[in-house]
């Protein structure tokens, strides 16, 4: 249960004074719906109101605070004209300008003949000083109310800065005195303030330095967040380890037959990964292992061997893919191996319904199916295995599914779990997403793969690209043509892809296919199938093809607006070609002007195809928040921590978490109690549940 000390922070923002239904929506859009979201919505800038010039010296463009006499009012002649109020000090005059403002209000706050303190941005318009909509109009006695420095918050359209600042101030005031969850010696070493003080200070910056990620207040908050993340992962991990797993020891006879049926021999890294997994399955603790390997590294075969190992040990296996296309593809890729091994494999996705589905389910429950391949449908309530020994989750480029997986034991006994990911995750990110999960890495590529010739081209050379395609396709080549999909404007991008397809059809006729996210699954599969069989030669696509499609005959990858893609994304796209024996080309087309960062990204791609190098570079160039688009990827989102700069804190948090688990695994000590509060505060409380059940 959530500690009561945190209740006020989980209140909704509409409970704050001045926040009604309309503003509530805007505040939610900018920060989130609860006070908790507001307190971690840290300032992105600050306004310095300490500049107090005489009017004659006031510099245009600066925020200034001036003391003036109100001279006269010039009400607006019509709605489009501004209302002006002329003021002066003993050196010059200034015009205060108001659009669509209430005249009565202005007469009240700016009475003629009175002194007022005005703060806002000074502008010069035809040699006259002006200030449009001052931020503050105060009587001189109130000057103390004027903040010297004012935090500026990230906003959203139509949300007034003042409203946001006031709401955040009110939320921060509600932050209770928290028990100290950090190690006192560690805090002292860093000279960090207590959580509440650090938070209040983070909202009261007095210089640009206070806004930087390495400001002590922000470091303290970032550390707390990272500790919550690492502690949660360690708790899950400790629980996994403490659970008696089952000993699954295959004798290898099915694997041997299946491997013999492959048209190639396994690489050393594949053999090693298979051995690591088999060892883990044979050990008495429950397996939670990550199989990391670049696109095309050959993970599927490794997964199949692990599944066969489970079958040899007398249990069943499940392979879950993130999409239906992929599930079908896995199924097709593994059919030969299954046949050679003489085991029964079935497919279950959202598309198998009615009697067909019932039949699969009863065969599964009766143990007549050895390996079930599918999508999330595998984990519906009514899917019951006779005895599930191993679940393989192919996350491709998404993460976090494994955590949900852990919560659902499908087997009667704890099921071993193997998670496959095609994104080479930088070490720091792997830590936040997987903690100290065991890792097998498939380095290198399967033999026979040729490097992809990567070229970066200005969009003005599009005609050359089409001419090149023409020659290649006449010789039987197949090409992907990717148009970027930007989240904010899916419609526009879709239009761009459709237009490109139409353009290409003028040259290539019905050899051009089109896939995008708006198509129904069946239509998409159909377009993919036509490309796979060669009925179409060019597949125009939004990034849907990013999620592991295997067409070995495809040798050309054209990426339009390559500058809009992240490094990792481009790397994944390029990985779609170079899968067969023929030489492949990747043409990265950019639309100038090219920013420094985009330039660096394209250069990296031209220079290396090592996914791990690319991932590190991506992290360096973009920061973790942007990497892959955190939201879609399922990587943990951090409110304060910034992995680009807080990598060292992450390592410290990991050590700290390990120590905590070793000393106080149930979080029963005084510090343990405080740490529970921390877990709830950063909403990593899923892990707390493991304490009680474990
Ligand atoms: P991943 O899932 O890691 O992206 P896949 O398992 O789909 O990669 O393998 C990519 C391609 O490489 C497949 O066509 C597969 O048959 C092939 N492949 C896998 N292992 C080997 C190997 N040892 N030698 C040659 N080709 C291989
Ligand atoms: Mg694959």
Count other Cβ atoms within 10 Å, centred on residue 253.
12
Atom number, ligand 1, closest to the C-alpha of residue 295: 4
Query: Is ligand 1 within 6 A of the CB of residue 296?
Result: yes
| Interval between CA 252 and ligand 1 midpoint (Å) | 21
Which range is least confidently modeled, 142-146, 156-160, 658-662? 142-146
- Report pLDDT for 580: 77
For the segment 243-256, the average pLDDT, to the nearest whole number, is 91
- Report pLDDT for 625: 47
Q: Where are the beta strands (DSSP E) in 422-482?
A: 438-442, 453-458, 478-482
Q: Where are the beta strands (DSSP E) in 127-267?
A: 128-132, 136-138, 149-152
Confidence bin at 287 (pLDDT 50/70/90): confident
| Interval between CA 434 and ligand 2 midpoint (Å) | 20
- Report pLDDT for 402: 47
- Report pLDDT for 445: 61
- Report pLDDT for 361: 96
Residue 401 has pLDDT above 60, yes or no: no
pLDDT in tens, 345-379: 999 998 888 999 999 999 999 999 999 999 888 87
Q: Which ligand is nearest to the CA of 442?
A: 1
- CA 123 and chain centroid, separation: 41
- Report pLDDT for 636: 64
- Report pLDDT for 631: 42
Confidence bin at 693 (pLDDT 50/70/90): very low
Q: Which ligand is nearest to the CA of 579?
A: 1
d(CA 69, CA 519): 66
| Interval between CA 262 and ligand 1 midpoint (Å) | 10
Confidence bin at 632 (pLDDT 50/70/90): very low
d(CA 646, CA 222): 8
| Interval between CA 379 and ligand 1 midpoint (Å) | 27
- Report pLDDT for 134: 94
| Interval between CA 312 and ligand 1 midpoint (Å) | 23
| Interval between CA 687 and ligand 2 midpoint (Å) | 31
| Interval between CA 442 and ligand 1 midpoint (Å) | 11
Q: Which mutation among 262, 298, 327, 397 tests ligand 1's pocket best, with the greatest number of atoms within 8 A of CB?
A: 298
Q: To 10 degrees, what angle do helices 647-663 and 216-242 make?
A: 40
Confidence bin at 234 (pLDDT 50/70/90): confident
Q: Which ligand is nearest to the CA of 302?
A: 1
- Cβ neighbors of 152 (< 8 A, separation 6 or more) are 43, 44, 45, 46, 47, 161
Tell me the C-alpha to C-alpha distance, in Å, between residue 449 and each of 477, 552, 675: 17, 11, 50
| Interval between CA 428 and ligand 2 midpoint (Å) | 24
- Report pLDDT for 404: 46
Query: Is ligand 1 within 6 A of the CB of residue 447?
Result: yes
The better pLDDT of the pair 677, 524 is held by 677
Q: Which mutation among 268, 274, 296, 577 tests ligand 1's pocket best, with the greatest number of atoms within 8 A of CB?
A: 296
Token pair 């955190």 in the structure block, residue: 630
CB 554 within 8 A of CB 579: yes
For 116, the enclosing helix (H) or strand (E) is: strand 115-121
| Interval between CA 135 and ligand 2 midpoint (Å) | 57
Residue 624 has pLDDT above 70, yes or no: no
- Cβ neighbors of 646 (< 8 A, separation 6 or more) are 213, 219, 222, 223, 226
- Report pLDDT for 444: 66
pLDDT in tens, 460-503: 999 999 999 999 999 999 999 998 765 555 566 677 888 899 99
Residue 409 has pLDDT above 60, yes or no: no
Confidence bin at 11 (pLDDT 50/70/90): very high
Query: Is ligand 1 within 6 A of the CB of residue 300?
Result: yes
Proportion of the chain above pLDDT 90, given as a percent: 60
Q: Which mutation among 260, 273, 299, 300 tests ligand 1's pocket best, with the greatest number of atoms within 8 A of CB?
A: 300
Atom number, ligand 1, closest to the C-alpha of residue 442: 3
- Report pLDDT for 692: 53
593 upstream amide cis, omega within 30 of 0: yes
Query: Is ligand 1 within 6 A of the CB of residue 299?
Result: yes
Query: Is ligand 1 within 6 A of the CB of residue 293?
Result: yes
Query: Is ligand 1 within 6 A of the CB of residue 99?
Result: no
Which range is least confidently modeled, 2-11, 56-65, 441-450, 476-485? 441-450
Q: Which ligand is nearest to the CA of 322?
A: 2
Proportion of the chain above pLDDT 70, given as a percent: 90
Confidence bin at 436 (pLDDT 50/70/90): low
- Report pLDDT for 595: 82
Query: Is ligand 1 within 6 A of the CB of residue 274?
Result: no
| Interval between CA 624 and ligand 1 midpoint (Å) | 29
What pairing do the DSSP bridges indicate for beta strands 388-396 and 345-348? unpaired
Q: How many residues does the chain have?
A: 694
Residue 561 has pLDDT above 70, yes or no: yes
Confidence bin at 630 (pLDDT 50/70/90): very low
Residue 557 has pLDDT above 70, yes or no: yes
pLDDT in tens, 668-692: 999 999 999 999 999 888 777 666 5
Taking CA atoms only, the protein residue closest to ligand 1 atom 23 is 266
Residue 300 has pLDDT above 80, yes or no: yes
d(CA 438, CA 240): 12
CA torsion 610-615-620-624 (nearest 10°) is 180
Query: Is ligand 1 within 6 A of the CB of residue 266?
Result: yes
d(CA 405, CA 418): 11
The burial of 145, by beta-carbon neighbours within 10 Å (0-12 exposed, 13-18 middle, 19 or more buried), is given as exposed
The better pLDDT of the pair 650, 414 is held by 650
Residue 628 has pLDDT above 70, yes or no: no
pLDDT in tens, 29-67: 999 999 999 999 999 999 999 999 999 999 999 999 999
The burial of 565, by beta-carbon neighbours within 10 Å (0-12 exposed, 13-18 middle, 19 or more buried), is given as buried
Taking CA atoms only, the protein residue closest to ligand 1 atom 16 is 298
The two three-digit tokens of residue 377, written as one number: 């449908």
- Report pLDDT for 446: 60
CB 56 within 8 A of CB 124: no
- Report pLDDT for 629: 45
In three-state form (DSSP H/G/I as H, E/B as E, the rest C), the secondary structure along 248-314 is CCCCCHHHHHHHHCCCCCCCHHHHHHHHHHHHHHHCCECCEEEEEECCCCCHHHHHHHHHHHHHHCC
What does the DSSP assignment read for 31-83? T-SBHHHHHT---SEEEE------GGGPPTTSEEEEEEEEEEEE--SSTTSPE
Q: Which mutation among 263, 274, 301 tests ligand 1's pocket best, with the greatest number of atoms within 8 A of CB?
A: 301
For the segment 533-545, the average pLDDT, to the nearest whole number, is 86
| Interval between CA 296 and ligand 2 midpoint (Å) | 7
Atom number, ligand 1, closest to the C-alpha of residue 294: 3
Count other Cβ atoms within 10 Å, centred on residue 535.
12
Query: Is ligand 1 within 6 A of the CB of residue 217?
Result: no
| Interval between CA 335 and ligand 2 midpoint (Å) | 14
Confidence bin at 612 (pLDDT 50/70/90): confident
Atom number, ligand 1, closest to the C-alpha of residue 394: 2
Residue 543 has pLDDT above 70, yes or no: no
Query: Is ligand 1 within 6 A of the CB of residue 575?
Result: no
CB 205 within 8 A of CB 151: yes
Average pLDDT score, the chain: 87
């Amino acid at each position: 249960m959530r500690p009561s000390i945190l209740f006020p922070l989980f209140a909704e923002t509409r409970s704050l004074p001045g926040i009604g239904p309309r503003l509530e929506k805007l505040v939610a859009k900018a920060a989130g719906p609860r006070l908790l979201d507001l307190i971690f919505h840290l300032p992105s800038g600050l306004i310095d109101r300490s500049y107090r010039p005489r009017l004659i010296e006031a510099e245009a463009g600066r925020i200034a605070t001036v003391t003036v006499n109100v001279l006269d009012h010039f009400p607006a002649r019509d709605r489009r004209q501004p209302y002006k109020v002329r003021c002066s000090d003993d050196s010059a005059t200034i015009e205060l300008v108001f659009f669509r403002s209430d005249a009565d209000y202005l007469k009240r706050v700016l009475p003629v003949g009175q002194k007022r303190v005005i703060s806002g941005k000074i502008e010069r318009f035809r040699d006259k000083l002006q200030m449009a909509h001052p931020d503050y109009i105060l009587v001189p006695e109130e000057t103390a109310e004027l903040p010297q420095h004012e935090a500026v918050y990230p906003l959203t359209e139509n949300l007034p800065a003042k409203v946001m600042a006031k709401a955040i101030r009110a939320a921060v005031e509600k932050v209770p005195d928290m028990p100290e969850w950090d190690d006192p010696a560690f805090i002292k070493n860093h000279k960090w303030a207590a959580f509440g003080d650090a938070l209040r200070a983070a909202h009261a910056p007095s210089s640009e330095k206070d806004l930087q990620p390495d400001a002590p207040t922000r470091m303290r908050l970032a550390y707390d967040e990272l500790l919550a993340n690492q502690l949660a992962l360690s708790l899950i991990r400790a629980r996994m380890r403490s659970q008696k797993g089952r000993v699954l020891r295959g004798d290898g006879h099915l694997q041997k037959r299946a491997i013999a049926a492959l048209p190639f021999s396994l690489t050393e890294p594949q053999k090693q990964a298979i051995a690591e997994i088999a060892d883990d399955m044979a050990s008495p603790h429950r397996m939670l292992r990550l199989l990391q390997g670049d696109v095309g590294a050959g993970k599927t075969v490794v997964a199949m061997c692990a599944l066969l190992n489970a079958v040899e040990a007398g249990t069943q296996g499940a392979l879950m893919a993130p999409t239906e296309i992929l599930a079908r593809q896995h199924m097709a890729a593994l059919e030969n191996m299954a046949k050679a091994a003489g085991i029964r494999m079935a497919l279950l996705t959202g598309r198998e319904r009615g009697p067909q589905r019932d039949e699969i389910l009863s065969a599964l429950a009766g143990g007549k199916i050895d390996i079930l391949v599918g999508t999330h449908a595998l984990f519906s309530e009514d899917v019951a295995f006779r005895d599930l020994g191993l679940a393989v989750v192919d996350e491709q480029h998404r993460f976090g599914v494994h955590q949900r997986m852990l919560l659902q034991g499908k087997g009667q006994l704890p099921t071993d779990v193997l998670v496959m990911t095609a994104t080479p995750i930088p070490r720091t990110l792997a830590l936040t997403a997987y903690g100290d999960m065991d890792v097998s890495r498939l380095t290198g590529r399967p033999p026979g793969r040729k490097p992809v010739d990567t070229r970066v081209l200005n969009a003005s050379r599009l005609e050359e690209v089409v001419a090149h395609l023409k020659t290649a396709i006449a010789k039987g080549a197949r090409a992907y043509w990717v148009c970027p999909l930007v989240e904010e404007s899916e419609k526009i991008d879709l239009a761009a892809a459709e237009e490109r397809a139409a353009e290409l059809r003028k040259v290539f006729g019905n050899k051009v296919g089109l896939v995008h996210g708006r198509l129904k699954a069946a239509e998409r599969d159909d377009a993919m199938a036509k490309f796979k069989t060669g009925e179409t030669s060019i597949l125009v696509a939004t990034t849907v093809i990013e999620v592991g499609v295997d067409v070995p005959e495809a040798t050309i990858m054209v990426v339009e607006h390559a500058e809009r893609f992240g490094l990792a994304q481009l790397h994944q796209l390029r990985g779609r070609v170079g899968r067969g024996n023929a030489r492949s080309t990747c043409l990265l087309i950019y639309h100038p002007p090219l920013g420094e960062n985009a330039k660096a990204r394209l250069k990296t791609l031209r220079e290396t195809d090592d996914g791990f190098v690319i991932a590190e570079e991506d992290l360096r160039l973009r920061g973790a928040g942007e990497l892959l688009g955190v939201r879609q990827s399922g990587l943990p989102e951090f409110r304060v921590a910034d992995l680009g700069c807080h990598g060292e804190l992450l390592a410290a948090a990991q050590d700290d978490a390990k120590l905590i688990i070793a000393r106080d695994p149930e979080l029963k000590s005084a510090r343990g109690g405080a740490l529970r509060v921390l877990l709830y505060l950063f909403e990593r409380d899923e892990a707390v549940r493991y304490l009680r059940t474990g």
